[in-house]
Structure 1
Amino acid sequence: MKVKINWDALGIATSVACAIHCALLPLFLTSLPLFGYNIIENTVFEFIMIGISFLIGAYSLYHGRKKHHHSWWPLFIFAAGILFLFAKMGWHEWRLWLLAPAVVCIVVSHFLNYRLCRHHDHGHTDDCDH
């Protein structure tokens, strides 16, 4: 039995997890420094989250481009989102202003990839979810 992984869904889930971490986690976990834990402003943790998002997202989008629709647009939009995330790491005073377009770009790239994969008649059914 062949197991199929929906890379778009995994990429979107990773992006949403990153958005939740960046936007909501500070609201709920502001007391962690009192106990000696600091993951809210932990640069290593942030880079690991961005790295995981990049690896899964880039693979997902490249897979869609190569096997289905052959469009680079989802990857370009995704790359812009990742660049916004890295910019957020460098310019902390602008982090909320950089986070919003990062999340929008990443989610839009996966949605566009999903739409292109589903609406492109590529003539084969292997490795397709429809």
Structure 2
Amino acid sequence: MKQKINWDALGITASLACAIHCAILPLVLTSLPIFGINIIDNFSFEVIMIFLAFCIGAYSLYHGWKKHHHRTQPIIMFTVGILLLLAKQIWHQYQFYFLVPAVLLIITAHITNYRSCRVHNHAHEDDCDH
């Protein structure tokens, strides 16, 4: 039996991990620099997390659009969310104004994609990964 990966669930998890990193980690792990570990406000780590969220999300949403529902709404929400994450990196002093809507849009895009994939018409069963 072929093991299938739920890319939407993985995308939601990556988005939540990013939100936890950005919102809670600075409050809980402020002592990490004492030990030489700095993932708080670490530009490289932030870029890697955004890139990871983009790769997983883009694959998941493209797959859902191409093989299942052909709806652009999840792709648009995801794109705006990723752009807000990038804006957070550019205008760092406003990061919390960009972060919350970015994460909400990305998670909502994955949920919408997931639900749309589950309810679409299976008239094209031959190319469907269900």
Q: Deviations over 1:51-104 (max 9, x none)?
A: 001000110010000110011211111010000001011111111111011011
Moved segments of 4+, more than 3 Å: none
User: Hey, what's the Cα distance between the residues in 2 that align with 1:19 and 1:66?
Assistant: 28
Identity of aligned residues (%): 60
User: Hey, what's the Cα distance between the residues in 1 that align with 2:34 and 2:91?
Assistant: 26
Aligned to 2:64: 64
Aligned to 1:92: 92
Deviation at 1:2, TM superposition (A): 1.0
User: Hey, what's the Cα distance between the residues in 2 that align with 1:79 and 1:22?
Assistant: 19
How many pairs were matched up? 128
Aligned to 2:55: 55
- The answer to whether the Cα contact below 8 Å between 1:77 and 1:106 also exists between their aligned partners in 2 is yes
Deviation at 1:34, TM superposition (A): 2.3
User: Hey, what's the Cα distance between the residues in 2 that align with 1:106 and 1:95?
Assistant: 16
What is the RMSD of the two structures over their aligned residues, measured on CA atoms? 1.2
Aligned to 1:82: 82
What pairs up with 1:100-115 in 2 under 5 angstroms?
Answer: 100-115=100-115
Deviation at 1:9, TM superposition (A): 0.8
- 3-state DSSP of counterpart to 2:76: helix
Aligned to 1:14: 14
Q: Where do 5+ consecutive residues of structure 2 fail to align?
A: none
- 3-state DSSP of counterpart to 1:50: helix
Aligned to 2:117: 117
The letter for the 1-side match of 2:129 is D
User: Hey, what's the Cα distance between the residues in 2 that align with 1:111 and 1:122?
Assistant: 20
Compute the TM-score of the two structures, normalised by the length of structure 2: 0.93
Q: Where do 5+ consecutive residues of structure 1 fail to align?
A: none
User: Hey, what's the Cα distance between the residues in 2 that align with 1:19 and 1:36?
Assistant: 23
